[in-house]
Amino acid sequence: MNGNNALLLTYGLAVGLCSLLFFTSCNDRVIGEFKITNHTLHRIDSLAIEPNRDLTSKYISLEPGETFIYKADMTDIPKVDGSYLLSYRLNKTNVHKGFGYFTNGYPLGTVLSIEIQSDSTIITESNY
């Protein structure tokens, strides 16, 4: 390979990498991430976390012992401070629990772990 071809190859790779970086960095989605585990002996239905603008995957069900990474789309919520609302149905009972905090419409850069037990809900926070 002569010097001109090597230079063109290097230039082409640089342009390709910059283009890839540009297109992948344009993702303006704001996602809150939650790790949810069902520690009960019963199925959990209609579980949702607000705020969440994604109507297609907003509600989930969890079988006993199942863990799921729930992603709440917070992209279009107002840029204000607030807290989350967890709601679900367990044993014919509707449960609602406020928790956590987001600021200016953005999560705090932590993963919230939610462990649902038959008589309580344990929520812990960890950094990415």
Structural domain that includes position 99: 31-127
Does residue 7 form part of some domain?
Answer: no
Provide the pLDDT for residue 125: 84
pTM of the entire predicted model? 0.74
CATH number for the domain spanning 70: value is 2.60.40
Q: How confident is the model at residue 22 (pLDDT cuts 50, 70, 90)?
A: very low
The answer for residues whose C-beta is within 8 angstroms of residue 92's C-beta and 6 or more apart is none
Tokens of 111: 């993963």
Provide the pLDDT for residue 47: 96
Number of domains composing the chain: 1
Confirm if 83 and 101 have CB atoms less than 8 A apart: yes
